[in-house]
Structure 1
Amino acid sequence: MHTTGRGTALARAAADLLIGLTLAAALLFTAAALAASWGGLSWLPGLIAGTIVGAFALLRRRDRFGTALAGLGVAAVAVVVAWLADLPAEPAPAVSLALAVLVASAIRTLPTRRAAVVAGGGLAVVAGSWLAAVPFVPEATVIPTVSAATWLAAVAAGLGGRLLVARREAAVERVRRDERLAVARELHDVVAHHITGMVVQAQAAQIVAARGPDEAARVAESLAGIEAAGSEALTSLRRVVGLLRDADDASPVAPGPESLSTLVSRFGDRGPEVRLRLPDDRPAWPAEVTTAVYRVVQESLTNITRHAPQARTVTVDVRRVPEGLTVEVSDDAPHAGARAADAIDTLDTGGGYGLIGMRERVVSLGGTLRAGPRPDVGWTVLAMLPLTVGNPTAGEHR
């Protein structure tokens, strides 16, 4: 970071040195030419105006708006004085060059309104230079033409720099937004799943404890399950926080496909029976796909715990298909209108984040997600994931 800062400072100093040397050369050349052609002290007003505006150009970073307005004001006064006193036309090339630096810098960095004011001020100076050149003979229009050309070049350079800055900021914002979404999904996945399990275990412990003191062993078992789920939640949170802090020793967040067996076993200990079917080519899955498969199954099981307590069996079926992988999680809970409506609303309108997070994760990999009731009983979540991760395509859901 410090090296980058020093590099930027050196680049700015080199640019200012180049501008200063160019302005000095232009001032000396113009003064010598006027002394040879006009004689006397005709060169002095232009030299003074050019020196002042050039100084403002070199000090522009301290107050881009103020120095730009001051430079334009000096140039405007020089145009009027030269016209009234019948002196060589202004703004001279050196003044025009210094104004171009001020105008381009202001347009590139200032807010839109202030940048427009500076650009308009430059146009006013150009217009005044042309008005002072009346009658329009070839000799009288040279200076106004140079002034107009430098103003146009300054506006173009300023707008070009402004566009580049805007594009860079938009790219940075897209990266930040994607990172925030990824962290939000990861936090939701690791927290909601474990906390849901803890809530279910706590509710079971309360029910068992109400039956009498003879159920102490089962209460202790539920409490042990709560402790285990809490420990897993803390471990997952530390892993995500470690990534946020960019810690070198942060453990990987992406769970491999082998973790599905552990996930299903843990779910089966406190919920309905789960039947897991996996393909044989799991080691070939890309890391993004393995994470997506795990999270889809995890969120689907969490939703079953929340919304389908009557389910007796759950099927988790991961299959290899020509398009990639399909992940299907189905339960046999009786149909409930409220559950179907709530889940579809969650997916479509943002009433919750579980299905939304699943869909965003799948679509970002170029896959599709569908969630809805089965024809007879139960509910199905079906995700299709390509094994070749490329440009995302529009996902669909029903």
Structure 2
Amino acid sequence: MNVRDRLTGRARAAADAVLGTALAGLLAFVAYQIAHTWGGDYWQFGCAAGTVVCGLALARRRSRRWTAVAGLAVAAAAVLVATFADLPAEPGPAMTLALAVLVGSAVAELPALTAGAVAAGGLAVAAGSLLTGNLTQTVLPPVTMLNVAGWLGAVTIGLSSRLLAARRRTMAEDVRRHERLQLARELHDVVAHHVTGIVLQAQAAQVLARKQPQRLDGSLSGIEAAGSDALAATRRLVGLLREAGDPPTPGQESLADLVERFDGPAVHLRLPDDDDDEPAWPPEVASTVYRVVQESLTNVSRHAPHARSVQVTVTRQHDAVTVVIADDGPPASASPYRPCGFGLLGMRERLEALGGTLHAGPRPGNGWSVLATLPLPDKREVR
């Protein structure tokens, strides 16, 4: 479980704890008031029915559809029993709050048809409370006004949450589509890079066939290796594309330029030492490293304006590249929502499709860090 999932789980548990406390308090308060004004055991039925609906509200995440249906059924039964047995008006305050939670949750999460049916059922229960109220009054009974207000609040909040979720999905899809278009351009350039190498080696092989045929085998092996590289790189990039920017960016030199142009806290860049025995990064790897650093610096300028410095460290082992971007912003800038940005969403998709990983979260003490790992392709392997 990642940081975001843990934070979400804790937030939900805290919200349910607050809701449970509020429901229990309302149940106890209403039971006391009924016992004090009506006397006897009149409070028991309403308290029992309210407890059942409140329990369903707390268990709504197990099945939003069936908990909502069961809650509305219990509430409707409570209205009928209260009407014919001359009991206190139902649904009471605790049940009203629980029904609002069930209806709002269903409207926000369930398919449109089911959500509409649950909302209609909630309105029917709210209107049914008229049966238990004092119909001789010229205004609506208080219990009806309370239930109608609860229903309106639930539907309003549920619809707002539903529209917000739809908007976020649309924005996320736009980011993915933009990323795919950029990758499509990169695919063209990666293929051109490798095919150019194949053409040059093939031309050299023709010369060797005439002048030094004994060296032809080595040249043909080079062509085979270049073709394997082209095939592997193409497949890795095609794996990122589900449907039909900027051109790919070279590796370390462009990172230095990016850091120099950054308009924000001072950036300290550490790059791997040059090693003539190591092959150059494949274009798709270099471009991905660049984009991760670029997006991370953008997030620093947006979410950590009070940071004093940023450390960008790029290290290379034989089979992988690791990128760490860490800022020293104050704890207030380490918002739990920060890693959910759409830019990092696109980067995560790209890294995972290339076999890499992306982790983002608050640092111990203060600041934020982004850790990306990206495997380097085996030059001898055709994937």
- The two structures have a TM-score, normalised by structure 2, of 0.55
**Partners in 1 of 2:232 and 2:183 — Cα distance?**
11
Query: Could you tell me which residue of structure 1 aligns to residue 147 of structure 2?
Result: 147
SS at match of 1:61: helix
Residue 83 of structure 2 contacts residue 131 of structure 2 at CA under 8 Å; is this kept in 1?
Answer: no
TM superposition shift of 1:238: 5.2
Map residues 209-224 of structure 1 onto 2, 5 A cutoff: 215=210, 224=219
Question: What amino acid is aligned across from residue 33 of structure 1 in structure 2?
Answer: Q
**Residue deviations 1:308-352, cap 9 Å, x none?**
xxxxxxxxxxxxxxxxxxxxxxxxxxxxxxxxxxxxxxxxxxxxx
Residue 240 of structure 1 contacts residue 253 of structure 1 at CA under 8 Å; is this kept in 2?
Answer: no
TM superposition shift of 1:239: 11
Query: Could you tell me which residue of structure 1 aligns to residue 3 of structure 2?
Result: 3
Query: Could you tell me which residue of structure 2 aligns to residue 327 of structure 1?
Result: none
**Partners in 1 of 2:220 and 2:196 — Cα distance?**
12
TM superposition shift of 1:218: 9.8
Map residues 245-256 of structure 1 onto 2, 5 A cutoff: 253-255=248-250
Residue 135 of structure 2 contacts residue 141 of structure 2 at CA under 8 Å; is this kept in 1?
Answer: no
Residue 103 of structure 2 contacts residue 154 of structure 2 at CA under 8 Å; is this kept in 1?
Answer: yes
TM superposition shift of 1:31: 1.0
**Partners in 1 of 2:132 and 2:49 — Cα distance?**
17
**Partners in 1 of 2:16 and 2:209 — Cα distance?**
86
SS at match of 2:91: coil
Query: Could you tell me which residue of structure 1 aligns to residue 129 of structure 2?
Result: 129
Distance of aligned partners of 1:224 and 1:120 in 2 relative to their CA distance in 1, 3 Å threshold: same
**Partners in 2 of 1:68 and 1:214 — Cα distance?**
80
Residue 231 (structure 1) aligned with residue 226 (structure 2): yes
Residue 201 of structure 1 contacts residue 226 of structure 1 at CA under 8 Å; is this kept in 2?
Answer: no
**Residue deviations 1:292-319, cap 9 Å, x none?**
xxxxxxxxxxxxxxxxxxxxxxxxxxxx
**Partners in 2 of 1:196 and 1:4 — Cα distance?**
44
Residue 239 of structure 1 contacts residue 253 of structure 1 at CA under 8 Å; is this kept in 2?
Answer: no
**Partners in 2 of 1:192 and 1:129 — Cα distance?**
73
Query: Could you tell me which residue of structure 1 aligns to residue 84 of structure 2?
Result: 84
SS at match of 2:62: coil
**Partners in 2 of 1:76 and 1:189 — Cα distance?**
66
Map residues 158-237 of structure 1 onto 2, 5 A cutoff: 158-192=158-192, 194-195=194-195, 198=198, 215=210, 224=219, 227=222, 231=226, 234=229
Distance of aligned partners of 1:88 and 1:138 in 2 relative to their CA distance in 1, 3 Å threshold: farther
**Partners in 2 of 1:214 and 1:157 — Cα distance?**
77
**Partners in 1 of 2:78 and 2:154 — Cα distance?**
20
**Partners in 2 of 1:134 and 1:19 — Cα distance?**
30
Segments of 5+ residues of structure 1 without an aligned counterpart are 246-251, 260-281, 288-398
The structure with the largest alpha-carbon Rg is: 1
**Residue deviations 1:187-206, cap 9 Å, x none?**
1221146437747986998x
Residue 107 of structure 2 contacts residue 118 of structure 2 at CA under 8 Å; is this kept in 1?
Answer: yes
Question: What amino acid is aligned across from residue 64 of structure 2 in structure 1?
Answer: R
TM superposition shift of 1:217: 6.1
**Partners in 1 of 2:117 and 2:110 — Cα distance?**
10
Question: What amino acid is aligned across from residue 36 of structure 2 in structure 1?
Answer: A
Residue 202 of structure 2 contacts residue 223 of structure 2 at CA under 8 Å; is this kept in 1?
Answer: no
Query: Could you tell me which residue of structure 1 aligns to residue 103 of structure 2?
Result: 103
Residue 107 of structure 2 contacts residue 115 of structure 2 at CA under 8 Å; is this kept in 1?
Answer: yes
**Partners in 2 of 1:164 and 1:194 — Cα distance?**
45
Residue 198 of structure 2 contacts residue 226 of structure 2 at CA under 8 Å; is this kept in 1?
Answer: no
TM superposition shift of 1:184: 2.1
SS at match of 2:135: coil
Query: Could you tell me which residue of structure 1 aligns to residue 58 of structure 2?
Result: 58
Provide the alpha-carbon RMSD of the alignment: 4.2
Residue 107 of structure 1 contacts residue 162 of structure 1 at CA under 8 Å; is this kept in 2?
Answer: yes
Segments of 5+ residues of structure 2 without an aligned counterpart are 241-246, 263-383
Query: Could you tell me which residue of structure 1 aligns to residue 75 of structure 2?
Result: 75
- The two structures have a TM-score, normalised by structure 1, of 0.53
Residue 57 of structure 1 contacts residue 98 of structure 1 at CA under 8 Å; is this kept in 2?
Answer: yes
Question: What amino acid is aligned across from residue 5 of structure 2 in structure 1?
Answer: G
Distance of aligned partners of 1:5 and 1:197 in 2 relative to their CA distance in 1, 3 Å threshold: closer
Question: What amino acid is aligned across from residue 86 of structure 2 in structure 1?
Answer: D
Q: How many residues align?
A: 252
Question: Which shifted more, 155-164 or 127-136?
Answer: 127-136
